Amino acid sequence: MLINKQDITTLILAGGKSSRMGGNDKGLIKINDEYIMSELIELSEKFTNSVILNINRNKDIYEKFKIKLISDLHVNFQGPLAGIYSGMTEAKTKYILILPCDCPMISDIFFKDILKDNFKDKIRCAHDGNRLQPVHALIDRSMASNLKVFLDSGERKIDKWYNQEKLEIIDFSNNPQFFMNINTPEDLEKYKLEKMKDDN
C-alpha cells in the first residue's frame, strides 16, 4: 500500500546555478525536442496530488510546463534546502516529495518504494547502496519550522540538517540508475547513449 496521493505534493528542484553545465539551466535540457524533466513531471502527477517546480530564473520558459512555479524565499541560490523550505511553505499536503530536475532515469518503482504507507519518521530518504541521496526524499511538512530555524542560523548543507534528524532510509541498491544525474555536458552525453540503448 502507498500513502494516499492526496496527502503528497511533489517538489521538483530546478533552482540551482548549474555551474558545471556552463550555467545552462538543467531543468530545460532537451533531447530530441523533449524536455528530460517531462517524464518526471508525468510520474509525479500519477503518484502525488500536485507538482510544484522550484526555479530561480527563466520563468517565462518554465510556464510551458503548466504547473505551479515558486522561487526561493532565501535569495542568491542558497542551495537545495532553500528550495525545499520554499516548497514546504507553499504546499498544502501533509507530505512533500523532493526530487531533482536532472534525474531522468527514475521510474514507477522509485515512487512505489519511497511512498510506501508505513512512514513513521519525519524524513524518509533514498540510499543508492553507496551513499545517501538527500534530494530524493519524503518529508513531513511539520518539519518546515525546524528547517527555517536551521536556515536562519546560516546553515545551508542538507546533509548536516539530516544528521540532526531521525531518518528512515530506503534502500535502492538494486536500482542505482535512478540517481544518475546530469551535472555536466559529459553526463548528458552518457545519458543520451543510455537512452539510445533503451530505445533500440
What tens digit of pLDDT does each residue of 82-123 get?
Answer: 999 999 999 999 999 999 998 989 999 999 999 999 998 999
Structure-block grid coordinates of residue 152: 536562519
Distance CA 122, CA 166 (A): 7
Kindly report, residue by residue over 7-16, the tens digit of the pLDDT.
999 999 997 6
The pLDDT value recorded for residue 75 is 60
Q: What is the pTM of this model?
A: 0.91
Helix (H, G, I), strand (E, B) or coil at 100: strand
Instruction: Kindly list the structural domains of the chain, giving each domain's residue range(s) and its CATH number in brackets, ordered by start.
Output: 5-199 (3.90.550.10)
Distance CA 127, CA 42 (A): 23
Q: Residue ranges of the alpha helices (H) in the chain?
A: 38-47, 59-62, 80-90, 108-114, 144-152, 158-164, 185-199
